[in-house]
Structure 1
Amino acid sequence: MAGARALQKEKTRQAIIDAALMHLSAEHSFASMSLREVAREAGIAPTSFYRHFNDMEELGLTLVDESGLTLRELMRKARQRIEKNGSVINTSVETFMEFVERNPNIFRLLLRERSGTSVRFREAVAREINHFKDELTEYLMAESDYSQEYAFTLAEGLVTLVFNAGAEALDLNPIEREKLKERTILQLRFITFGAASTKEKA
């Protein structure tokens, strides 16, 4: 019986999260979203919301955490799929752009809250982006003989470039998005080849 209640509670909590994500759009930010809107979309009474989250800020922070985790898991799997002599840049960019195309609301949330008015939101998004940088740093160190500091500097540049491309991709049509993807891949190659060349001369 207790297990059934716990399962139902988790289902309701997920319904609240899904409802909030559904309401996000280019015109509707999380900051403009009301608790009543989310509760109505989730099919619960507004008072029931508080059984799962203390307030809307806690819900927003949960969305940021889960969105970042989802994207990191996708990028991790993308790197694992790369066969010997395969292109980590091509696979990573394609995976990232697919995520942006299929989950524009999630990516908009990360972009908006990255520079939003809430300090806690900004810190949460910065933490997620730092996770990307740290994981890529570890990958670069494993694949090359880069020092931790050198690998992190390179990772920071790559992550910044890809996130900026993702932001631009949100408002593009499929043809323009494909051209952007090709440019991003080329730009990433410039940076990684430049990093390798600089390392050799150092």
Structure 2
Amino acid sequence: MKPHLIPCLAGALLLSACASTTPTTSAVPTAATLEAAMADAERSVAAGEADKAYTILRNAGTRFPAEKAPWVQIAQLKFDRGVYGDAITNALEALQRDPNDRQGNSIVAVAGLRLSTKAVADLSQQNNLAGPLRTEAQQLATLLRNTLGEDVLVPVKGAKPPVKKPVTNGAKPPKVANQTTSADPFGALK
């Protein structure tokens, strides 16, 4: 080896050694415990720093992979902000860890209904709610009415409150025929 290369190699080794021992820092510190991470996220939300809270909770989900709490919290934050697709995705992460988690299941159900309601309303405005899609929407509405014990799912403003029907456990809802050709997707629900 040539003598003038030795100082160059020594300098390169020294620089690489310094580079590899420098600790990396992130904009969001990592909490030592799950409880600390959850508390940090709560403080971030209270301070109006939702993005920081999401990062803290995602990091907690990575550091504590068996825990559902970070995913439930992200799902709730997304739900509260009306980002229903993300709320469902994160709630499903929580449900992978605990399929019986009530809050996770509730977020999936209600966020899914809100997305579905918007999609049906959009289809109705485009006059594209017909045929099998309309029939399936009516069947799902009947199932919801029976499950919730409500005669009407979407009350009309100024109308009398609906009378509750008894909830039938395990009974299949009757098939609903295409009773109306109105552009109102909820016409058959009333």
Name the TM-score, length of structure 2 as normaliser: 0.34
Q: Which has the higher contact order (CA 8 A, sep 6+)?
A: 1
Where is the helix percentage greater, Structure 1 or Structure 2? 1
